[in-house]
């Protein structure tokens, strides 16, 4: 609730346009973080490491932020159409997959847990 007055102040005082330095660096950095998050999530999940849920949650949030800022900062016309297409075709579906991974309730067995101990291999039956 404390943020509601602040949101009102921002809405009334921030300019509707701004010139931004290093715009390209900001966007490349965001996309690089998303790629790193997706790769980290895949690597952790492949190893059976439950920390993939953390990277999936963070990456999903980054993807939603990317979709939001792409669409609200795009110029009308072709640029906006491309931003909406990227949001609906890539960023938001990937965010949904990340959210599902972050919230997933996969069952682990004792055999799975033994597999995660360094140097230990489960016995075959």
Q: Give the pLDDT confidence score for residue 61 in this predicted structure.
A: 98
Mean pLDDT of all residues in 58-81:
97
Pair 67, 91: CB distance under 8 Å: yes
Mean pLDDT of all residues in 51-73:
97
Q: Give the pLDDT confidence score for residue 106 in this predicted structure.
A: 60
Mean pLDDT of all residues in 28-39:
98
Stated pTM of the model? 0.79
Please give the share of the chain, as a percent, with pLDDT higher than 70: 83
Mean confidence (pLDDT) of the chain: 89
């Amino acid at each position: 609730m404390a943020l509601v007055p602040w949101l009102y102040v921002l809405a009334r005082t921030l300019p509707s346009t701004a010139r931004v330095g290093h715009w390209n660096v900001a966007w490349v950095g965001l996309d690089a973080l998303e790629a790193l998050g997706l790769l980290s999530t895949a690597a952790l999940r492949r190893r059976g490491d439950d920390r993939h849920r953390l990277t999936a949650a963070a990456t999903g949030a980054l993807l939603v932020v990317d979709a939001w800022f792409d669409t609200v900062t795009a110029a009308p016309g072709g640029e906006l159409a491309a931003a909406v297409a990227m949001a609906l075709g890539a960023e938001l579906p990937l965010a949904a997959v990340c959210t599902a991974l972050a919230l997933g309730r996969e069952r682990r067995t004792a055999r799975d847990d033994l597999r995660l101990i360094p140097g230990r291999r489960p016995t075959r039956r």
